[in-house]
C-alpha cells in the first residue's frame, strides 16, 4: 500500500506560479508519506474508534455501490473486515481509501470510500489540505438536537415532518424495523425531508437481556428494512432503553446515541407537561429524546421549538451538535459528553 504521490497535482500548469505551488504541494505530500507502506495504526493514530468507523463506512459504501437484497444487508455485519490496526489491506490516494476485501459472500473485492467522508477519522497529515479536520471556532450560539424514537407512525410522523419543515428544524428519527417494514413510504419521507434515520432495533427489546447474537440480529434486520425503504444504511444506533454494553456495542461499529434530556412524553402522555419538562431541563448542547408515536408528543413539538428559538437556541444535526465526527464504540449523550461503551 503506497501512499499516492499525487503526480497529477504537480503536472497541471495553468501558470508558472500555479505550477510551482502545485509541485511544492505534491513534494510535501510525498515527503509526509515518505514512500512508506501505511498501516491502519498510522492513518488512525492507533485509535480503535476510528478503525471501527472505517469498517462501518466500508459497509455503507458497499450498500451504496451495490444493489443488495435484505439478506445481503444483514450479512454486512458479518463481513470479514480488519480488527487489527496493523492490517495491510487498503490503499490510500488523493481521492479515496480503498478497502481490499477478503473472500466474502457478497463477492465484493473492493470498497472505495471517498476521503470527503473521512475528515476527522483519518489523521490530517494523510488527508488533502481541503479535507483536513479543523477544530470548531468558539461561538456563543446555543444549540440543541431533536431526536424521535419508536416510529415511523403512518399518521403522526408525517404530521411531525410538516412541523419540522415549517420551522426549518432537522431531527434524527430512531426507527424500529417492524414499523419500517410496514410503512416504508414514511421512512422515505423522513429522509426526503432532510432528516436522518437511526437504528432502534427490530421490536424494542433490551439488548443487555437478550445477548449479543440476538441483539446483532435486531440491528441487522432493521438495517435491511431501512435500506430497503430508503436505499441507505443508518449511521447511528440507539439501543432501546439506552441499555448497551461493550460487547454488543462493538458488534455494530457505530456511534451509540443516548440523550441528556428525556422528555418523559411516554410517561406523561400530556402535552403541557411534556412541554414544561423539556423547557425546564434543556441546556446548551442537549440531545432531546421524544417519540413520534404519541399524539401528545407531536402536539408538544411546535411550542418546544418556538420557545427554545426565542431563548436563542438553534436546532442542529447530531454531527453539528458534537462539532466532530461521531465515532464507533462511543456513547454520545450531548455536546462534550461522550463515553466509552
**Catalytic positions, written as ranges:** 149, 291
Buried b (16+ CB within 10 A) or exposed e, 23-47: eeebeebbeebeeeebbbebbbeeb
Q: Which residues contact 206 (CB under 8 A, 6 or more apart)?
A: 239, 240, 241, 243
Domain-wise residue ranges, the chain:
38-131, 142-340
For residue 166, the Cα-to-chain-centroid distance in whole angstroms is 25
What are the helix (H) ranges across 193-241?
207-210, 212-230
The answer to whether 38-131 and 142-340 have equal CATH topology is no
pLDDT at 314 over 70: yes
pLDDT at 36 over 90: no
In percent, how much of the chain has pLDDT > 90? 86
Q: Which residues contact 242 (CB under 8 A, 6 or more apart)?
A: 258, 259
CATH of the structural domain 38-131, one choice from 1.10.8, 3.90.640, 3.40.50, 1.10.10: 3.90.640
pLDDT in tens, 258-285: 999 999 999 999 999 999 999 999 999 9
pLDDT score for 35: 38
Region of 197 please: left (phi>0), alpha (psi -120 to 50) or beta.
beta
- The SS3 of residue 302 is helix
Superfamily of domain 142-340: Glycoside hydrolase/deacetylase (3.20.20.370)
52 close to 327: Cβ distance less than 8 angstroms? yes
112 close to 98: Cβ distance less than 8 angstroms? yes
Residue 6 or 213, more confident: 213
Exposed, middle or buried: residue 168 (CB in 10 Å: 0-12, 13-18, 19+)? exposed
In percent, how much of the chain has pLDDT > 70? 89
Identify whether 152 is preceded by a cis peptide bond (ω within 30 of 0). yes
140: number of Cβ within 10 Å: 6
**Mean pLDDT in the chain?**
91
Q: Beta-strand (E) ranges in the chain? A: 90-92, 96-100, 110-114, 142-149, 171-175, 196-199, 256-257, 261-262, 286-291, 313-315, 330-334, 337-340
pLDDT at 18 over 90: no
Amino acid at each position: 500500500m503506497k501512499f499516492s504521490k499525487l503526480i497529477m497535482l504537480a503536472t497541471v500548469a495553468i501558470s508558472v506560479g500555479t505550477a510551482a505551488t502545485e509541485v511544492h504541494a505534491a513534494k510535501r505530500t510525498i515527503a509526509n508519506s515518505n514512500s512508506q507502506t501505511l498501516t491502519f495504526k498510522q492513518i488512525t493514530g492507533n485509535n480503535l474508534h476510528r478503525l471501527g468507523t472505517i469498517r462501518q463506512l466500508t459497509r455503507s459504501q458497499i450498500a451504496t455501490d451495490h444493489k443488495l437484497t435484505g439478506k445481503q444487508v444483514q450479512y454486512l455485519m458479518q463481513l470479514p473486515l480488519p480488527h487489527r490496526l496493523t492490517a495491510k489491506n487498503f490503499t490510500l490516494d488523493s481521492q479515496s481509501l480503498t478497502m481490499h476485501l477478503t473472500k466474502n459472500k457478497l463477492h465484493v473485492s473492493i470498497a472505495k470510500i471517498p476521503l470527503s467522508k473521512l475528515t476527522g477519522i483519518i489523521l490530517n497529515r494523510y488527508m488533502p489540505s481541503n479535507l483536513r479536520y479543523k477544530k470548531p471556532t468558539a461561538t456563543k450560539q446555543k444549540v440543541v438536537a431533536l431526536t424521535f424514537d419508536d416510529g415511523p407512525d403512518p399518521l403522526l410522523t408525517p404530521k411531525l415532518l410538516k412541523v419540522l419543515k415549517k420551522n426549518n428544524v432537522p431531527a434524527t428519527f430512531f426507527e424500529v424495523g417492524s414499523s419500517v417494514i410496514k410503512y416504508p413510504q414514511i421512512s422515505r419521507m423522513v429522509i426526503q425531508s432532510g432528516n436522518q434515520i437511526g437504528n432502534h432495533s427490530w421490536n424494542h427489546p433490551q439488548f443487555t437481556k437478550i445477548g449479543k447474537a440476538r441483539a446483532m440480529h435486531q440491528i441487522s434486520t432493521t438495517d435491511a428494512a431501512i435500506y430497503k425503504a430508503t436505499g441507505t444504511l443508518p449511521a447511528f444506533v440507539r439501543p432501546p432503553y439506552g441499555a448497551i454494553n461493550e460487547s454488543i456495542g462493538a458488534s455494530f461499529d457505530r456511534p451509540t446515541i443516548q440523550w441528556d434530556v428525556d422528555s418523559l412524553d411516554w410517561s406523561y402522555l400530556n402535552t403541557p407537561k411534556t412541554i414544561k419538562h423539556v423547557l425546564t431541563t434543556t441546556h446548551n448542547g442537549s440531545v432531546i429524546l421524544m417519540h413520534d408515536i404519541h399524539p401528545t408528543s407531536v402536539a408538544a413539538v411546535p411550542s418546544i421549538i418556538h420557545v427554545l428559538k426565542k431563548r436563542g437556541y438553534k436546532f442542529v444535526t447530531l454531527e453539528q451538535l458534537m462539532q466532530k465526527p461521531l465515532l464507533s464504540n462511543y456513547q454520545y449523550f450531548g455536546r462534550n459528553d461522550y463515553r466509552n461503551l
